[in-house]
Amino acid sequence: MTMSTHSNFSSVPRYAGRCLLWLALLLAMVPIVFLVITSLKPEGVTRTVPPTWVFHPTIENYSSVLSTGAGSSVTFGRLLFNSAAVSVGTVILTIAVAVPAAYGLTLREFRRSKGVSSWILSTYMFPPIVAVIPLFIIAGSIGMTDRYPVLIIPYAAFNLPIAIWILRNSLHSIPVEVQEAALVDGANRPQIMWHILAPLLMPAVATAAIITLILAWNEFLLALSLTRAAAKTSPVGVQEFTGLYGTQWGNLTAASCMIAAPIVICVLILRRRVVSGLAFGAVK
């Protein structure tokens, strides 16, 4: 009932298709492999022809990055912490606001839903580059520069449309009969949301959460403009390894791997939740 073994294609093309799929995935891993391998190379063999595959792996790049970074006033560990605080804060704010909003948009009685959802989508079009200047002027004048909320609130606002649309479309695919059955049973809206819809929404919430987490974690432009030292996030820190005058490839890739690692771990955790949360069909 739960596992979809349904396949769209018959055996031979399917086999070829799976081969193609794995080939494509492996190819897509090449840049990742480059990142990881280069981070373990001593600086002398990071750029050679032919590329060096046999070398003495070293963790000196990682240790050099972790010790006070590239001569900056903020340690790399602090950068990671800031990124975590800002990203997790953004995810929580985004989901907390998006779920009710998505539900509100699906209420049959809510006449304006089409207009409002179009408006929400239009806010997504706002180019962040142009928003930077007014944002840092405002942040500066209320003294919020270099504090977490100054990043969390814009990030949540910029990611809200995605989250709302994902959740809304998931809600729409839940048959209305389920809600109506609950209404007939005498439940009110909050109870419907909590007991019935929330579990069914888990995969969509997990998807929206992962996407928001990644986008907030990797955001650079606003982070650069709105922070100085206290709230500086890791993308801003990692680009300090790339001066105009040559890149320290070992350090840069090591830093990048360390920045990507928390995301990968989160993805691994969340993906299992998605799978377990799917162990059902529409409740009969």
Partner 1 sequence: MNDHMISRRRFLSYAGAAGAVAGTAAISGCTLGVPGDTHITESGRPSGLRALYATVEANAAAVQSVLPAFREAFGFDLTLDTQPYNALQQKVFSELATRSPYYDIIIVDTPWAPTLTRVLEPMSKYLRDPKLNQLADPAINDFVPKAFYDAGVFKIDDPTAHYPEPEAAPNIDQITAKGFEVLGLPIQTNVLMMGYRKDIFDNPNEQAAFRQQHGRPLAVPDTLDDLVTVGRFFTRPEQRLYGTTLMGGVGDWSTCDFKSYLAAFGGDGHLLSDDLHMAFDSPAGVQALQFMRDLVDKYNIVPPGSESASWDDTASMFDGGLTVMSSNYHTFELSDTVRGGQIAYAVVPKGSSQGPHFGSYMLSINKYSRFKEWAYQAITWITGAQQQMTMVQKELHPTRTSVYEKASADSGLTEKYGNFYSALGKSLNVGVGRPRLTNYTEVSHDIAVQVNNAVAGRISPQTALTAAVTDVRDTLRKADYTVPST
Partner 2 sequence: MTSQTGIAPPGTRDQLAPGDRIKPLAPQRALERRGRSIGWALLAPAMILLLLMTVGPAIFLIYSSLHNIQMFGGASGFVGLRNFQELLTDATFLHSLLVTLAFVVIAVGIELIVGLALALALAPKTRANGVAATLLLLPFAVTPVVSAMVFKQLLDPNYGWVNYYLSKVGLLPGQMDWLANPSTAWIALVALDIWQWTPFVALIILAGRQTLPQEVFEAASVDGSRPWQTFRYITLPMLAPFLAIAVVLRSIQAFKTFDSFQVLTGGGPGDSTEIINLGIYRTALQSFQVGAASAVGLVFLLILSALVPLLLRVVGRNAEPEKG
Can you say whether the dihedral through the CA atoms of 6, 10, 11, 14 is positive or negative? negative
Stretch that binds partner 1, among 14-22, 116-124, 184-192, 271-279 (CB under 8 A): 271-279
Largest Cα separation within the chain, whole Å, is: 73
Give least dist CB 68 to partner 1, A.
Answer: 10
Closer CB to partner 2, 145 or 256, in the complex: 256
Q: Where would I find the beta strands (DSSP E) of the chain?
A: none
Q: Which partner, partner 1, partner 2, none, binds residue 67 by CB below 5 to 8 Å per kind? A: none
Give least dist CB 276 to partner 1, A.
Answer: 5
Closer CB to partner 1, 116 or 146, in the complex: 146
Q: Is 134 a residue that touches partner 1 (CB under 8 A)? A: no
Query: Measured between alpha carbons, how far is 140 from 134 in angstroms, rounded to an integer?
Result: 10
Q: Is 49 a residue that touches partner 1 (CB under 8 A)? A: yes
Contact 76, 66 (CB under 8 A): yes
Reply yes or no: is the peptide bond before residue 50 cis, omega within 30 of 0.
Answer: yes
Q: Under the rule (CB under 8 A), what is the footprint of partner 1?
A: 42-45, 47-49, 70-73, 81, 84-85, 88-89, 91-92, 95, 133, 136-137, 140-141, 145-149, 152, 198-200, 202, 205, 224-225, 228-231, 236, 239-240, 242-247, 269, 273, 276-277, 279-280, 283
